[in-house]
């Protein structure tokens, strides 16, 4: 096989990110040379849409709710998975998925890297949380299936993630290598069913997780043949896509060989990564060429059988055909009315205790965790929205004794520091209230609380309205 033919074959399994808006010259060049597609991130939104015609796989890491690329500057106004799971209406979830497809299409994306199929069973989980529909395999399975169908009906390609389930972990794979806390029985009975539901619903792509399942070996699932064989064992015959290969869980373990290890294990489509992420080289074309060169060299030396590469490229080519067919599917004519979406966000929220109406200004004690690669908190914007012209105090500065009616803003309530901030406010701030953007607490908090189940603009708007009205001990809006 000539060098040019081999490079074209390798291009057919690569899915790189890039810097800037519009289509870089190198992406246009490699597209003509068989590149499978590209993945869009926040830095790519706002320019001319990337052309997805001909089955070019333009993916976007857009989940709605907590994780958004389309609305990263202000936060998402779409319902997130945690909110949809709380509402538990599959028809609402299906329509929300169609809306996600419509929003993503504005950027040129024909592939939506969603839904999160993880069952969030560890409240300490730093990277999944409300990105999951919940902690029950039945609940998550039903809403994963509804999302896959809703995305496909609206003309997008769904990519459920992160196989074999990132929900029972306490390490963020962007920064380290997590190990699943589930034993093999729980892995099969709790964490695999949503992926089986995705397959049954017609998913054509499933994305891997960079995490270790001890019963299956010491390597992360992305590079673990046993793990990916488990996915094929669910009856999945489509494309196995890797999560981003620039994440520390892969990069620190395998370096430039990560693409080879993923392909050899059974991945078909390799997400090279986001060149804007911390720790990346910042050279989008260079990252792509490095990945391609590593695979070409592995084939030349016999480390990677060319048959494995050809098999992967064939699966991706079939997916591109499906994407071309999806381009003719009618998308929804109009978005969901904003009032309806806000009403649903309020319906998804849970209150505890009782709180008098507090229309503002408010003192907000911001105790949220630092943003991660996957999840951006949009800086102080959410805290400022809740303050309604009042003060925003960093929780590290403590809770002021005169902070009557204070709002403690948290997003990982199981975290000791965040629990500490709540406890201080309970002692020092009469009438303090918690607004929780993360998963529901395992134990009750010592002050009234609003759990909105997403770190999004929509969720914060819902919390703002609920705080303004107050609620009684029965958990209904209206001053107690």
Instruction: Please compute, for residue 207, the number of CA atoms within 13 A of its CA located in the half-sphere on the CB side.
Output: 28
Q: How far apart are CA 170 and CA 128, in angstroms?
A: 10
Residue 451 a catalytic site member: no
Residue matched to tokens 């989008």 = 284
Strands 433-436 vs 449-451: parallel, antiparallel or unpaired: parallel
What distance in Å separates the CA atoms of residue 210 and residue 163, rounded to the nearest whole number? 9
d(CA 214, CA 242): 19
Contact, 367 vs 410, CB < 8 A? yes
- Catalytic hit among 174, 191, 210, 451: 174
Tokens matching residue 171: 């390490």
Which residue in 77, 243, 366, 415 is the catalytic one? 243
Indicate if 152 belongs to the active site. no
Instruction: Determine the Cα–Cα distance for residues 40 and 374; give it in Å rounded to an integer.
Output: 13
Output the CA angle 171-177-182, nearest 5 degrees. Answer: 65
Label each residue of the chain as H, E or C. CCHHHHHHHHHCCEEECCCCCCCCHHHHHHHHCCCCEEEECHHHCCCCCCCCHHHCEEEECCCECCECCCCCCCCCCCCCHHHHHHHCCHHHHHHHHHHHHHHHHCCCCCEECCCECCCCCCCCCCCCHHHCCCCCHHHHHHHHHHHHHHHHHCCCEECCECECCCCCCCCCCCCCCCECCCCHHHHHHHHCHHHHHHHHCCCCEEEECCCECHHHCCCCHHHCHHHHHHHHHCCCCCEEECCCCCCHHHHHHHHHHHHHHHHHHCCCEEEEECCCCCCCCCCHHHHHHHHHHHHHHHHHHCCCCHHHHHHHHHHHHHHHHHHHHHCCCCCCCCCCCHHHHHHHHHHHCEEECCECCCCCCCCEEECCCCCCCCCCCCCCHHHHHHHCCCCEEEHHHCCCCCCCCCEEEECCCCCHHHHHHHHHHHHHCCCCEEEECCCCCCCCCCCCEEECCCCCHHHHHHHHHHHHHCECCCCCECCC
Distance of CA 340 to the CA centre of its chain: 24
List phi, psi (to 5°) of 254: -120, -15
Mind telling me the catalytic residues?
A: 174, 243
């Amino acid at each position: 096989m000539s060098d040019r033919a081999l490079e074209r074959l390798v291009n057919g399994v690569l899915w790189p990110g890039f810097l800037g808006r519009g289509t870089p010259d190198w992406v246009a060049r490699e597209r003509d040379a068989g590149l499978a597609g590209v993945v869009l991130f926040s830095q790519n939104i706002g320019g001319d849409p990337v052309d997805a015609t001909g089955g070019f796989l333009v993916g976007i890491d857009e989940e709605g709710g907590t994780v958004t690329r389309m609305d990263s500057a202000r936060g998402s106004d779409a319902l997130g998975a945690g909110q949809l799971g709380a509402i538990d209406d599959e028809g609402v979830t299906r329509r929300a998925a169609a809306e996600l497809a419509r929003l993503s299409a504005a950027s040129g994306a024909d592939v939506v890297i969603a839904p999160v199929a993880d069952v969030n069973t560890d409240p300490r989980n730093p990277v999944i949380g409300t990105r999951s529909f919940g902690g029950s395999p039945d609940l998550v399975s039903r809403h994963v299936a509804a999302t896959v169908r809703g995305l496909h009906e609206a003309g997008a390609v769904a990519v459920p993630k992160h196989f074999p389930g990132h929900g029972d972990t306490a390490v963020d794979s962007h920064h380290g290598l997590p190990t699943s806390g589930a034993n093999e029985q729980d892995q099969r009975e709790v964490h695999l069913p949503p992926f089986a539901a995705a397959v049954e619903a017609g998913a054509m792509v499933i994305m891997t997780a960079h995490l270790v399942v001890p019963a299956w070996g010491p390597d992360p699932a992305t590079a673990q043949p046993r793990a990916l064989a488990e996915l094929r064992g669910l009856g999945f015959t489509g494309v196995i896509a890797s999560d981003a290969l620039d994440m520390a869980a892969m990069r620190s373990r395998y370096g430039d060989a990560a693409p080879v290890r993923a392909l050899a294990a059974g991945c078909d489509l390799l997400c090279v990564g986001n060149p804007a992420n911390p720790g990346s080289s910042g050279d989008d074309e260079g990252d792509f060429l490095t990945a391609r060169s590593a695979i070409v060299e592995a084939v030349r030396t016999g480390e990677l059988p060319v048959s494995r590469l050809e098999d992967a490229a064939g699966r991706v080519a079939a997916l591109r055909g499906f994407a071309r067919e999806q381009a003719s599917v009618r998308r929804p004519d109009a978005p969901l009315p904003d009032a309806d979406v806000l009403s649903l966000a309020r319906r998804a929220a849970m209150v505890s205790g009782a709180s008098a109406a507090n229309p503002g200004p408010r003192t907000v004690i911001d105790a949220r965790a630092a943003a991660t690669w996957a999840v951006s908190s949009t800086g102080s914007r959410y805290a400022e929205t809740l303050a309604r012209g009042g003060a925003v105090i960093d929780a590290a500065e403590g809770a002021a004794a005169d902070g009557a009616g204070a709002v403690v803003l948290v997003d990982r309530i199981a975290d000791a520091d965040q629990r500490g901030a709540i406890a201080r406010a309970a002692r020092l701030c009469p009438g303090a209230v918690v607004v929780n953007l993360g998963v529901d607490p395992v134990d009750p908090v010592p002050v009234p609380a609003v759990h909105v189940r997403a770190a999004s603009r929509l969720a914060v708007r819902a919390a703002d309205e609920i705080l303004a009205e107050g609620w009684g001990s029965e958990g209904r809006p209206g001053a107690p």
